[in-house]
Structure 1
Amino acid sequence: MAEEFVNQLLSKEANEAPSDTKKIDELTPELPEWFDEVKFSQARRFYWHNCYGLTSAMLLGLVNVLAVPSILRILVGARRSNDVYPTFKRYVSTFIHAVSWFESELKPGSRSWESLLKVRQRHIRMTLAAKVKGQGLISQRDLVLTQFAFVGLTILKHDKFGIQTLEDDDWEAYNQFWRVIGFMIGIKDRYNICQRTIKETRQVCQLIVQRVYTPCLNDPPEYFEYMARIMLEGVASTNPTVDTPSLLYWTKYLADVPGYVYTEEERKEFQRLLRKKLNGCSDETGVDSTLLISKSAVEDLPGHKRLLFVRDYDSFKTVPEYKQLPLISKSKLVLNSFFTSLYTTKFGRKFLNTMFLLSLNVMKQYPRIAFFIFNLKVSLAKIFNYPLDNTGLKPNSSFNKISSN
């Protein structure tokens, strides 16, 4: 069942079906017939109990989305997405929209209702602009892969974010919440990844990771590094716990990209896997990373080859992806487990949720402070020759060169 659904979702038909068939002035939002107000309210309570952990998962999910060529192409081509400051403002807006869906009841005239209408209108405008520039369109497939950003990692890897339930059926309620949100932004029921039950949704999300996000992050399209860093650096302006290199590593680790390991046991197991794939060949023979993952179900990946060597996994110090991280980023990865454990305690949950709410308040009520901090960071980065500035897009190789020095 899940396999058939994902095949349909990743089909040419879904990729060519526009996100909306209506014009902006023709939009008349309405709730789906299967809307359950009780479950919707329950999901909202569940979110605020886990707002720090759930929003952290959403942030990494949005990094995933940038690795999808068709989506990245639209964002790169958008006037507000090719420089640091405009892109930062776009993602501040995205987070404020997403959080607003949990802040009020979903009914005509409410803040969440108006927000969802604006998001749908934005997608229509972006599609029109992309068509004019010959960059394609925002498709139903693109919408759904973006929907995954907000719910996929949460459902699949909730233990990595310290998520806790208040009631036995909280996950069913949360699943229904995002099914409704998908419907409201224009996703057809036949493509909505949030199925009728949380079990079905988990199966669908796992297949999407295997067939889309693992291969896309294993061989990301050009400008992925630049766009991902812009977004993460922007969030760091209001949340000092955010560290860009470590979060990029963590994102690829959660997407099961070959070579990204987090524990000593994972390192040893991955080295054993590489030896098994060599099938008796010399350890000096590299293993093509694509042999360890599913074939990509999306088009236009660069086709770069990543060779993984047994010797590189003798210890964490020799793991290439880990070795290139700055010392502060390595420390942040270590702290990640601590914060996850802390979040499962009463005090830790209250503290981290409060810190999240404070940073959210800064973005909403005092955006000029956030923008000032961000532009100050960009100026300092430029002084120290870090390739993150307002001069336009940087190719992935710009960041790879820095990592290899």
Structure 2
Amino acid sequence: MTENFHCREINRKCTEFSAEKFVDVLLTEGEKATCDETSESFNEHCVIPTFYDEILCKKGQNCFHQNRFSFCLTSLLGLTALGTRPALKILILTKQQCTPIKAYRRYLATILYMLELYEYEFKPGSKSWSSLEKVRKMHNFASNLGHRKLDYRINQLEMALTQFGFIGFALVRGRFIGIHEVSEEELKGFIHLWRAVGYVLGIEDRFNICRESVKETKEICEELMRRVFIPGLQQPGDDFYNVAKVVVEGFRGMIPGLHLDNMLHYTHMIMESNEDVANCAKDHLSPLDTIEQLKLKILVNVMWAMQYRIFRFIMNNFLLLIIWLWINFPIVAYWKFGITHHSHVRI
């Protein structure tokens, strides 16, 4: 009996999940494994994954609809944090964000592709599946170009970190993003959707940060913040600020008033669970002027107000109006880039 107990205990410890070990493998082996046409997972994963659960996926889509504004903010801040990663040089090479208008078109298209994942059935032939196929082609093209020019391919690590960019802050800093009253089952559905998305985009199961367990996924996100994103924002590469400024200028074609330093300060505040604007200064960040501090205080207070359902309802529906304008009458882009066909983005 004692021997059997010890055997069971050893087996339990061997199978016990460790976010630290998961991230160890991701950072060491994920960087060596490609995620393009040279990858077995990329070529074989263009089908519905065997683990896919339609009911759970719909719960995840509904979770997004109930918190549309907050999840879009998550993506905006996540894309900012991703700007510190080495894959940035591929975007520079492909000239997809070397000017504000190109950055605007690229990121608006990214947002529209993302929104289709939440609106339509996740199956071959649907609009969401068509969006994923287009994203796969774009990633593969960029990876091949990067290989020819820089001897660098998009890898599993960068794809996994991109998953974090779209979901990470919402999962582990939900209160700071305005996410409230979300059940464990809804979060599980949201994670399940992104697990399936990652699979179809070619992420190997061992590198997919979206796990079956909400707890494990959150632990991975916390570990990635600590070991990747916080150090990356504290010591960004030489290209980061130049490219990030262009990216923000592109976003200003959608959201007027955005400011790079403001976004970086708020991203730091989220990662450090700090709600005090007065104590958000960082040695490596430019100090905020009075106007930008005021904007940051307004954002913090908006996130505080999101705890109330009526305010979430207002902000979610306000975003629907904004999205409609982005697609049909991009008035901000007209003002910034001129009334041309470049201001209109179709996917």
Structure-1-length-normalised TM-score: 0.73
The equivalent position to 1:128 in structure 2, one of 144, 150, 162, is 144
The equivalent position to 1:150 in structure 2, one of 166, 183, 191, is 166
The equivalent position to 1:173 in structure 2, one of 182, 186, 189, is 189
State the distance in 2 between where 1:175 and 1:220 align: 29
The reply to whether residue 8 of structure 1 matches residue 8 of structure 2 is no
The equivalent position to 1:62 in structure 2, one of 79, 84, 88, is 79
2:276 aligns with: 263
What secondary structure sits across from 1:163 in the alignment?
coil
The reply to whether residue 355 of structure 1 matches residue 318 of structure 2 is yes
Distance of aligned partners of 1:176 and 1:30 in 2 relative to their CA distance in 1, 3 Å threshold: same
The equivalent position to 2:111 in structure 1, one of 95, 105, 125, is 95
Distance of aligned partners of 1:131 and 1:163 in 2 relative to their CA distance in 1, 3 Å threshold: same
- Tell me how far 1:83 sits from its aligned partner: 1.9
1:281 aligns with: none
2:230 aligns with: 214
What secondary structure sits across from 1:15 in the alignment?
coil
Greater relative CO, 1 or 2 (CA 8 Å, sep 6+): 2
The equivalent position to 1:191 in structure 2, one of 207, 222, 229, is 207
2:52 aligns with: 35
State the distance in 2 between where 1:55 and 1:30 align: 27
Is the CA contact (8 Å cut-off) linking 1:176 and 1:194 kept in structure 2?
Answer: yes
The reply to whether residue 334 of structure 1 matches residue 347 of structure 2 is no
Is the CA contact (8 Å cut-off) linking 2:104 and 2:250 kept in structure 1?
Answer: yes
- Tell me how far 1:320 sits from its aligned partner: 5.4
Is the CA contact (8 Å cut-off) linking 2:75 and 2:165 kept in structure 1?
Answer: yes
1:279 aligns with: none
1:371 aligns with: 333
State the distance in 1 between where 2:268 and 2:191 align: 24
Letter of the structure 1 residue corresponding to residue 293 of structure 2: K
2:309 aligns with: 346
State the distance in 1 between where 2:135 and 2:155 align: 15
The equivalent position to 2:66 in structure 1, one of 49, 60, 63, is 49
1:75 aligns with: 91
Gaps of 5+ in 1: 268-315, 377-405
- Tell me how far 1:227 sits from its aligned partner: 2.2
State the distance in 1 between where 2:181 and 2:196 align: 20
Structure-2-length-normalised TM-score: 0.85
Q: Decide which moves more: 221-230 or 29-38.
A: 221-230
> Which is richer in helix?
2
What secondary structure sits across from 2:120 in the alignment?
coil
What secondary structure sits across from 1:102 in the alignment?
helix
State the distance in 2 between where 1:370 and 1:323 align: 27
1:251 aligns with: 267
1:391 aligns with: none
Letter of the structure 1 residue corresponding to residue 157 of structure 2: R
Q: Decide which moves more: 140-149 or 237-246.
A: 237-246
Is the CA contact (8 Å cut-off) linking 1:73 and 1:135 kept in structure 2?
Answer: no
After superposition, what is the alpha-carbon deviation per residue over 1:118-172, rounded to whole angstroms, capped at 9, x for unaligned? 1111110001111111251101111111111001111110010121245441111
State the distance in 2 between where 1:166 and 1:241 align: 30
State the distance in 2 between where 1:60 and 1:115 align: 22
- Tell me how far 1:334 sits from its aligned partner: 1.0
**Over aligned residue pairs, what C-alpha RMSD do you find?**
2.4
Is the CA contact (8 Å cut-off) linking 2:96 and 2:106 kept in structure 1?
Answer: yes
State the distance in 2 between where 1:261 and 1:222 align: 27
What secondary structure sits across from 1:101 in the alignment?
helix
Is the CA contact (8 Å cut-off) linking 1:67 and 1:216 kept in structure 2?
Answer: yes
Q: Decide which moves more: 355-364 or 2-11.
A: 355-364
Gaps of 5+ in 2: 1-17, 339-347
Q: Structure 1 stretches (4+) deviating beyond 3 angstroms?
A: 25-28, 165-168, 240-244, 318-323
State the distance in 2 between where 1:181 and 1:323 align: 37
- Tell me how far 1:2 sits from its aligned partner: 1.4
- Tell me how far 1:348 sits from its aligned partner: 1.3
State the distance in 2 between where 1:343 and 1:261 align: 17
State the distance in 2 between where 1:250 and 1:27 align: 39
The equivalent position to 1:232 in structure 2, one of 237, 248, 251, is 248
Letter of the structure 2 residue corresponding to residue 374 of structure 1: K
